[in-house]
Homo-oligomer: A and B are copies of this chain.
């Protein structure tokens, strides 16, 4: 009837499972996992589809293209990360040194030791290729943690518990061990690079830094 090669489509084979409402979230979760593990360019949509238990074409029912999926996955990762950051221990009743120590430890248990920890390394890796995403991550997460720490320090100074230091700079410094420990573990693996256990690391970090912060 028709010319050769103009029409020649073969039908699907296996039965599809339908969960339209959950699909986007499942896809985003799978996407974030693969992106975080391989990076943007090395990730094939096939991998994501496979991980999500879905065919490649399904992705395009929910996302315009690879980049849109990436950005959405970042967003889907940032949201709970923001929540986790906001939930970090900030008990105002306790003295400042205790609060700082608790903040560090709760950072680890609520973020560092969870799947949320994949995001920071991903954004460090893709920061150059996706400046918008990097900026966004910085504004939403890094800045937020830093501000929480800075407020904690300011309160401590106001209460006379801490020395008068520049709060935003000190906050960066307090944040550095938290960030570095997480990135190291994500990049090199806990054991491969002989990272001390988190309790020991954050315990000593708090000891050392607080000694400098606390008013004699």
Contact = CB atoms under 8 A, between A and B. Distances in A.
Interface of A: 1-3, 5-7, 9, 37-42, 44, 65-67, 70-71, 121, 123-132, 134-135, 138, 142-143, 165-166, 168-170, 172-173, 175-177, 179-181, 183-184, 186-188, 192-196, 200-201, 204-205, 207-213
Could you say how many copies of this chain the assembly holds? 4
> Which residue of A5, A143, A170, A173 has the most chain B CB atoms within 10 A of its CB atom?
A173
A51 to B, nearest CB: 13
Nearest to A1: B132
A129 B39 contact: yes
30 contacts: A1-B67, A1-B71, A1-B132, A2-B67, A2-B70, A2-B130, A3-B129, A3-B130, A3-B131, A5-B44, A6-B38, A6-B42, A6-B129, A6-B130, A7-B67, A37-B128, A39-B128, A127-B187, A128-B187, A134-B188, A138-B192, A138-B193, A142-B188, A166-B204, A173-B204, A176-B179, A176-B205, A208-B208, A209-B209, A211-B212
Contacts of A2: 67, 70, 129-130, 132
Contacts of A207: 212
Nearest to A123: B187
Given A169-B196, A169-B201, A209-B212, 10 more contacts: A1-B71, A2-B70, A5-B42, A6-B40, A41-B42, A138-B193, A173-B205, A176-B179, A179-B180, A212-B212
A172 B187 contact: no
A138 B129 CA distance: 25
Contact of A200 (B40, B169, B175): B169
A121 B181 CA distance: 15
A5 B40 CA distance: 13
